[in-house]
Structure 1
Amino acid sequence: MTDAPGSEGPEPSEPPTSRREGGGLRRAHSAADASASTTTGARSARAEFETHVAHARAEFEEANERIKQRTGRDLILAIVIGVAIGVVVVASLIFFKWIFLLFAIAATSLGVFEFVRALRASGRRVDLIPQLLGGVVLMLSGYFVDLWLHWVLTMVVVVVLIVWRLLGQMFSRDGRTYGAVLSDVLITGLVVLYVPFLGSLAMILLSQDGGEWWALAFIIITVAADTGAYVTGLTIGRHPMAPRISPKKTWEGFGGAFVAALIAGVLLALYMLGLPWWTGLIIGAVILGTATIGDLGESMVKRDLGIKDMSSWLPGHGGVLDRLDSILPSATAALALFYLLSPLAVS
């Protein structure tokens, strides 16, 4: 069989005509071989790197899934959202107080909205719009007016909200029992005192000379305690702390929170607040106590309402109020500590 026309192989190259030309050809072949070897090595290294990355990613996703199954939280989303919120809080406190004021008003308003929605879903009657307006009034008064006037406005807001609820019940004429109406009135006062009033105490602290550093300090300590409890409880937590209230909280986690809060308190006292180191132990311990009480308190409320989270607006965290549960009562402690310990600051 003969080859078809036009299918002949390449003609053999002519032999080099000189010794110099032969050397050049040998060098060209050597360079080509070296280039091919380098390309092959690079491809092999790249394939090996991609294999390691894929393996590490698979292990991380598997670990994240185990954490999610145990805690009910997506660790990656929780970290990303937590860092984003932290950047806003730190930047606003350091550079522009009024931005933090707006951020705090928005956060407490969302917390009130979540709380009222959850209460309504459980059959309670709470007026949303008056609660939101009253909350904004308290937050603004905490920052802009004198302390005595803020207390007066707080009482006025509580009374107005209770009267509003009673008038609304009178006009509804739906035969609601006396016990249910009394429960609605008490819950009306609870909402405004729990979320915007405690938030307004942080605004009072913010309005003080150097108060932004104290506000930042108590928030950092709260976050450090929460992180210490989460990591320690996740790794070595075995003994439930309050199984009927919050089954996933452990004494080991509380120990981790205790250590983290004290370390953060000492460091912040020395390098940010200009206080003696031992005051940091007091600040850390007190903030840890109020943060723990706030966390367990909100867990009791959610258990009573039959819900796991106030909302799902913050993936990996739950709702806004789920992030404020430790911060709100800690604002009270931080304000008291400011009045007690700030005179000890080194000028």
Structure 2
Amino acid sequence: MPHMQQSREAEEKLQQINKRTGRNMPQAVATAVVLIVIILACLFISPMLFALLVVVFMLPALWELRVDFATRGLRIPVLTLWICSTATLLSVYFCDRHVVAMAVGVLASLLVVAVTASLQITLNGRTSKVVAGKATTATPAQAQPRADEPHSRLTQVAVSMFTVLYIPLLASCIIMPLTFNGHPVAHAILIVFMPALSDTGGLFAGAWFGRHKLCPTISPKKSVEGLLGSILFAMAGCFAVFACTYEAPMWASRWWVPIVAGVMIGVVGTFGDLCASLIKRDLGIKDMGHLLKGHGGILDRVDSILLCAPFICVLLWMTGL
């Protein structure tokens, strides 16, 4: 009897935590551990493997966007986006002039995708089934997805070009820091794990101390206390990475960089989450996808990472770190 009562109490506490965080925490933790192991293994074996891993992750992310946009009758040329995104990301890493490669790749992708998106695009049977499944999971508070909603060709082109700027361009800023100043592992950890750590800090600070809503119309669970937790966790993580990477002379002149990075990651990452929530609300969906158990889709996990990447990249480049 005491054992059954303890099990029941533990289950109730777990349900309360899941309700506060809005996630299945055991699944979320297990998925996070697997992702961390895969990312660190690629990083320590070779930065090139990490760059290839970014490409691999971006392909299903583009598929998620294809399905999400299709719930509202918006069609993006996913095959063209796959080809252009792969070419752009690989050229950023392997070409000697990385910034030029990114600029040329993104501009060429915008042109090719705009032309392809202006054509009449139809959904295949598999996509239609996934779109129908998305429609059945929409909550009453969300806009009802309409896969047959009419849109002009200009709208289709605009959405497709937005996809190029959202994924290939921002993902290029994840790969770019691998190529300068000789600290690819530290740079990758800052870009990938610090926004994730910031999300974790915001999640727990908001769940336990959240009282003042940050933006209730877009994301009811976001709070000012959660934002502060995000900043503090990101700042602590940046100090740890910097302490393990740079020598004392560098610290003497760059001691302020982890503070700036922590504040920037906390604020920008939270803004990225809000932007993703706004997109999902407009599309009438709860999650971008369901590939990552406990987290939703890939884009649900990397939205803050994508938005933080260019800011961290520029900060590292300007400070010579």
User: Taking structure 2 as the reference length, what is the TM-score of the superposition?
Assistant: 0.83
Tell me how far 1:190 sits from its aligned partner: 0.6
For residues 258-283 of structure 1, give each alpha carbon's deviation from its aligned partner in whole angstroms, at most 9, with x where no partner exists.
Answer: 21112222222222244423221011
What is the aligned length? Answer: 286
Of 260, 269, 280 in structure 2, the residue corresponding to residue 291 of structure 1 is: 269
Amino acid at match of 2:231: F
Of 149, 154, 157 in structure 2, the residue corresponding to residue 182 of structure 1 is: 154
Amino acid at match of 1:67: I
Aligned equivalent of 1:13: none
Tell me how far 1:184 sits from its aligned partner: 0.9
Long gaps (5+) in structure 2: 122-148
For residues 182-210 of structure 1, give each alpha carbon's deviation from its aligned partner in whole angstroms, at most 9, with x where no partner exists.
Answer: 11111010111101221112111122322
Amino acid at match of 1:272: T
Aligned partners of 1:334 and 1:215: how far apart in 2?
10
Structure with greater Cα Rg: 1
What secondary structure, in the 3-state scheme, does the structure 2 residue paired with 1:313 have? coil
For residues 80-139 of structure 1, give each alpha carbon's deviation from its aligned partner in whole angstroms, at most 9, with x where no partner exists.
Answer: 110110111122112222221222111111111101110011111211111111111111
Amino acid at match of 1:241: L
Aligned equivalent of 2:110: 158
Tell me how far 1:250 sits from its aligned partner: 0.8
Does the C-alpha gap of structure 1 residues 263 and 162 become closer, same or farther in structure 2, counting only changes over 3 Å?
A: same
Aligned equivalent of 1:242: 215
2:224 aligned with 1:251: yes
Whether the 8 Å CA contact 2:69–2:283 is kept in 1: the answer is: yes
Aligned partners of 2:101 and 2:230: how far apart in 1?
37
Using CA pairs below 8 Å that are at least 6 residues apart, which structure has the higher relative contact order? 2
Does the C-alpha gap of structure 1 residues 134 and 57 become closer, same or farther in structure 2, counting only changes over 3 Å?
A: farther
Tell me how far 1:156 sits from its aligned partner: 0.7
Whether the 8 Å CA contact 1:225–1:256 is kept in 2: the answer is: yes
Aligned partners of 1:99 and 1:144: how far apart in 2?
12
Q: CA RMSD in A?
A: 2.0
Tell me how far 1:56 sits from its aligned partner: 4.5
Amino acid at match of 1:336: V
2:75 aligned with 1:107: no
- Residue correspondence of structure 1 range 111-122 to structure 2 within 5 A: 111-122=61-72
What secondary structure, in the 3-state scheme, does the structure 1 residue paired with 2:285 have? coil
Amino acid at match of 2:164: V
Aligned partners of 2:311 and 2:193: how far apart in 1?
14
Aligned equivalent of 1:211: 184
Aligned equivalent of 1:200: 172
Aligned partners of 1:82 and 1:237: how far apart in 2?
24
Aligned partners of 1:301 and 1:269: how far apart in 2?
34
Amino acid at match of 1:309: D
What secondary structure, in the 3-state scheme, does the structure 2 residue paired with 1:325 have? helix
Aligned partners of 1:262 and 1:93: how far apart in 2?
22
Aligned partners of 2:44 and 2:5: how far apart in 1?
41
Whether the 8 Å CA contact 2:202–2:227 is kept in 1: the answer is: yes
For residues 128-152 of structure 1, give each alpha carbon's deviation from its aligned partner in whole angstroms, at most 9, with x where no partner exists.
Answer: 1111111111111121122213211
Aligned equivalent of 1:129: 79
Aligned partners of 1:135 and 1:58: how far apart in 2?
49
Aligned equivalent of 1:59: 9
Long gaps (5+) in structure 1: 1-47, 170-175
What secondary structure, in the 3-state scheme, does the structure 2 residue paired with 1:326 have? helix
Whether the 8 Å CA contact 1:266–1:278 is kept in 2: the answer is: no
- Residue correspondence of structure 1 range 1-347 to structure 2 within 5 A: 52=3, 55-145=5-95, 146=97, 147-168=99-120, 180-208=152-180, 209-274=182-247, 275-276=250-251, 277-342=255-320
Aligned partners of 2:192 and 2:119: how far apart in 1?
39
Aligned partners of 1:100 and 1:58: how far apart in 2?
43
Whether the 8 Å CA contact 2:206–2:226 is kept in 1: the answer is: yes
Does the C-alpha gap of structure 1 residues 56 and 134 become closer, same or farther in structure 2, counting only changes over 3 Å?
A: farther
